[in-house]
Amino acid sequence: MTGGGTSTTPLLRYSVTLFMPEIPVWVVVGLGFGDEGKGLATDYLCRELPGALVVRFNGGPQAGHTVVAADGRRHVFSSFGAGTLRGCPTYWSRYCPVAPGPMLREYAALRELGVQPRLLLDGRCPVITHYDVLWNRAQEAARGAARHGSCGLGFGATIERQETTPLRLYAQDLAFPEVYQHKLHQIRAHYRSRCQQETSIPFDQLDHDAEDQRFVDYARQLQALRQQEAVELVQEAEVLAPLAPWPALVFEGAQGVLLDQEFGLFPHVTRSYTTSRNALELLAWHRPGAAARVLYVSRAYHTRHGAGPLPHADVPVPLIHHEQETNQFNDYQEHFRRAPLSVNLLNYALQCDANFSAGLEKHLLLTCLDQLPDGRIPACVEGQHRPLAATELGGLLDEGLANYVFSYGPCADDLPPLPTFAAR
């Protein structure tokens, strides 16, 4: 038979799968409109699984995942995984656009905290440019009272450009000036035409040459970090290979199921799959048979930062001990809103994720319980508003969960170990 390599490939793949070492795999998924505590959840899992690889599998640098260390250090993660303070490397998967400027600034901030981050950057990650940010903000401002709730950082515009035009800019391109400068010129022309046709922004009066030069400087700085091996340009297959050296995998989700582009309340959604979908697809492709567990996260009350419906927001939710809230007023998302915890919405989010995670072991981390003045959850149950003890919540959820963890503070070191950790 000719082409013997082709005929043996399936046998080799089967052999690797058969003898693949079993390692702990967790997927962190938010059940709300974002801001549930996914940074705390990821840091928690990395506390229990030292050296784990943190995989960002959706969203981009618009995420804001807050971690508070036991020694008082505090950082809001956007372009690095929330296990970084514990020395865990981050794999930035191809599902996640990267913004060179914000990533470099966050790298510098982490170095000031005494941390040496390690970022494994997939070469196929879309790159957010200043033109994507400009178009994002112009488009959202033009909507006026009909805003979608964008945070104005160019995430959705980048995904749209990558998916609907041939103007695709990838992380791997940033190593080749002739390539990315040509693509940047084409992207400028694309948005110039759109701005002139669809907005009143005086596009030609802006100093785009200066912004282009700043982008070139970012690309050069990124190359310098690659030479220092602080940032590594990688391929998905090598990072997630069965024999890769990671002792555990922690998939860190961004935003929340209620913002999912498939299941959220259009048009106030993100251009991202915020369920476990992407994470489980990566596992199916590269580690078939891996026994993943899901850690769902919800605050003890609902929140929303940005335009869009927030059921029961007319019911007051008084809080204490929330002075360090990460989410503050800004020009694009405006006020950070809160509402009682809707059991119906929790069940809806769980049902949405069950389309991908059926049969997996699932847990729930309930955060911000220390912010409730009487320790009882302000809840809406079957249309009725009433306070709940945290321990009552499990009996109201349609999904059978293996365990509930209750957080009464911002630090993961104050959380108890999950029984599954203690059993290993």
Q: At what angle do helices 208-227 and 177-198 cross, to 10 degrees?
A: 140
Q: Are residues 102 and 140 in the same domain?
A: no
Residues 182 and 318 in one domain: no
Domain end marker among 204, 227, 250: 227
The share of the chain scoring above pLDDT 70, in percent, equals 89
Q: Binding site for IMP: what residues are annotated?
A: 35-38, 255, 270
Beta strands in 57-138, from DSSP E residues, in sequence order: 65-68, 74-77, 90-92, 119-122
For residue 366, the domain's CATH number is: 3.40.440.10
Domain boundary among 205, 227, 249: 227
Tally of structural domains, the chain: 2
Provide the pLDDT confidence category of residue 150 given band limits of 50, 70 and 90: low
Neighbour tally for 385: CB within 10 Å: 12
Say what the pLDDT of residue 307 is: 73
Q: And the tokens for 177?
A: 């000036």
Structural domain containing residue 177: 130-227
**Residue 329 and residue 188 share a domain:** no
User: What's the whole-number mean pLDDT along residues 217-242?
Assistant: 96
325 with 406, same domain?
Answer: yes
- The CATH number linked to 177 is 1.10.300
Mean pLDDT, residues 263-283? 94
What pLDDT is stored for residue 278 in this prediction?
98
Whether 370 and 409 have beta carbons less than 8 Å apart is answered as yes
161 with 308, same domain? no
Task: Give the model confidence (pLDDT) of 71-94 as tens digits.
Answer: 999 999 999 999 999 999 999 999
Enumerate the known binding-site residues for Mg(2+). 35, 64
pLDDT at 144 over 70: no
Check pLDDT > 50 for residue 413: yes
208 and 242 housed in the same domain: no
Assigned domain for 16 exists: no
For the annotated binding site, the residues are 34-40, 64-66, 255, 270, 368-370
Omega of the bond prior to 267 within 30 degrees of 0, cis? yes
Pairing between β-strand 336-339 and β-strand 302-305 as defined by DSSP bridges: antiparallel
Cβ atoms of 91 and 122 closer than 8 Å? yes
Chain segment 3-13, per-residue pLDDT in tens: 444 333 333 33
Pair (264, 389) in one structural domain: yes
pLDDT digits (tens, 9 = 90+) for 288-308: 988 899 999 999 999 997 778
User: Is residue 6 situated within a structural domain?
Assistant: no
d(CA 232, CA 166): 26
Q: Which residues are the active-site residues?
A: 35, 65
pLDDT at 332 over 60: no
Binding residues for GTP, as ranges, are 34-40, 64-66, 368-370
In this model, does residue 20 exceed pLDDT 60?
no
Read out DSSP for 343-395?
HHHHHHHHHHHHHHHTTSEEEEEEE-GGGSTTS-EEEEETTEEEEE-GGGGGG
Residues 292, 392: one domain?
yes
Q: Which residue has the tokens 């009350």?
A: 301
Whether 164 is in a domain gets the answer yes
Domain end call among 210, 227, 244: 227
Mean pLDDT across the chain: 90
pTM of this prediction?
0.91
Q: What percent of the chain has pLDDT over 90?
A: 76
Half-sphere CA count of 125, side-chain side, radius 13 A: 32
**Which position has the token pair 């990267």?**
98
342 shares its domain with 381: yes
Are residues 339 and 407 located together in one domain of the fold? yes
288 with 388, same domain? yes
Task: Please check whether residues 99 and 210 belong to one and the same domain.
Answer: no
Q: Report how far apart, in Å, the C-alpha atoms of 23 and of each of 55, 99, 292, 314 are.
A: 15, 31, 9, 46
